[in-house]
Structure 1
Amino acid sequence: MVSVPPQVRLISFVALFAFFQSASAIQQLLAFDKISEGAYRHESIPTAIDVITRLGNGQIVLNTTSADVTVANDKQKWNTTVSDDDSLWEDPNYLSQFDAIAFVMTADKDDGSTTLLSPQAKVNFAKYIQNGGGFIGFHVACGCLYDTPFYGRLVGAYFDYHPEIQPVGIKALTNNNPSTSKFPASFQINEEVYHYRTDPRLLPSAPIVLLSNSTVFNDPQAANRTRSDGPPPRPLAWVRSGNLLDAPSTPLGQGMDDPEYGPKYSGGPGRMFYTSLGHLNETWQQIPMQAHVAGGISWVMASPTCRSRKGDSPLKEQSSPSDVPNSAIRSRRYHSKR
Structure 2
Amino acid sequence: MRFSPLRLIGVAATGALLATALVGVPASAADPAYKVMVFSKTAGFRHDSIAVGTQAIRDLGAANNFTVTATEDAATFTTANLAQFRAVVFLNTTGDVLNAAQQTAFESYINGGGGYVGVHAAADTEYDWPYYGTLVGAWFLSHPAIQQVTARVEDRTHPATSHLGTTWVRTDELYNYRTNPRANVRVLINLDESTYSGGTMGDHPIAWCHSQSSGRSFYTGLGHTQASYAEAAFRAHLLGGIRYAAGVATANCSPATGRPPVTVEGEAFTSTGGVQVANHAPASGGKTMGYIENNDWAGFSSISTVGRTGFSARISSAGAGGTIRIRSGSQTGTILGTVTVPNTGGWETFQTVTTTLTGTGTGPIFLTFTGGSGSLFDVDTFTITG
Q: Distance in 2 between matches of 1:185 and 1:150?
A: 33
After TM superposition, list the pairs within 5 Å mapping 1:35-54 onto structure 2: 35-36=42-43, 39-54=44-59
Report the TM-score when normalising by structure 2: 0.54
CA-to-aligned-CA distance 1:289-330 (integer Å, 9 cap, x gap)? 01111111112222699xxxxxxxxxxxxxxxxxxxxxxxxx
Residues 271, 303 of structure 1: 8 Å contact kept? no
Work out whether 1:86 is the aligned partner of 2:74. Answer: yes
User: Which residue of structure 2 aligns with residue 132 of structure 1?
Assistant: 113
Cα drift, residue 284 of structure 1: 1.4
Cα drift, residue 170 of structure 1: 2.0
RMSD over equivalenced CA pairs, Å = 2.1
User: Which residue of structure 2 aligns with residue 212 of structure 1?
Assistant: 190
User: Which residue of structure 2 aligns with residue 77 of structure 1?
Assistant: 65
Q: Distance in 1 between matches of 2:79 and 2:234?
A: 34
Q: Distance in 2 between matches of 1:303 and 1:185?
A: 25
Work out whether 1:103 is the aligned partner of 2:90. Answer: yes
Cα drift, residue 185 of structure 1: 3.9
User: Which residue of structure 2 aligns with residue 122 of structure 1?
Assistant: 103
CA-to-aligned-CA distance 1:141-168 (integer Å, 9 cap, x gap)? 0101111000000000111111111111
Residues 171, 186 of structure 1: 8 Å contact kept? yes
Which of the two has higher C-alpha Rg?
2
Cα drift, residue 105 of structure 1: 0.4
Letter in 2 for 1:122: Q
Letter in 1 for 2:197: N
Report the TM-score when normalising by structure 1: 0.62
Residues 209, 237 of structure 1: 8 Å contact kept? yes
Letter in 2 for 1:190: T
Letter in 2 for 1:156: G
Of 162, 166, 172, which residue of structure 2 is paired with 1:191?
A: 172
Residues 184, 288 of structure 1: 8 Å contact kept? no
Of 116, 122, 125, which residue of structure 2 is paired with 1:144?
A: 125
Of 136, 150, 171, which residue of structure 2 is paired with 1:169?
A: 150
Higher percent of residues as helix = 1
Residues 134, 300 of structure 1: 8 Å contact kept? yes
CA-to-aligned-CA distance 1:75-134 (integer Å, 9 cap, x gap)? x42111000000222x331111111110000001xxxxxx11111101111111111101
Q: Distance in 2 between matches of 1:142 and 1:81?
A: 22
Letter in 2 for 1:211: I
Q: Distance in 2 between matches of 1:56 and 1:304?
A: 15
Residues 56, 78 of structure 1: 8 Å contact kept? yes
Of 215, 219, 232, which residue of structure 2 is paired with 1:270?
A: 215
Q: Distance in 1 between matches of 2:76 and 2:65?
A: 25
Residues 243, 249 of structure 2: 8 Å contact kept? no
CA-to-aligned-CA distance 1:158-205 (integer Å, 9 cap, x gap)? 111111111112231111111111213433222122111112123xxx
Secondary structure at the aligned position of 1:98 is classed as coil
Of 118, 127, 135, which residue of structure 2 is paired with 1:154?
A: 135
User: Which residue of structure 2 aligns with residue 27 of structure 1?
Assistant: 34
Residues 171, 183 of structure 1: 8 Å contact kept? no
The answer to which structure, 1 or 2, has the higher relative contact order (CA under 8 A, 6+ apart) is 1
Letter in 2 for 1:270: G
Residues 160, 236 of structure 2: 8 Å contact kept? yes
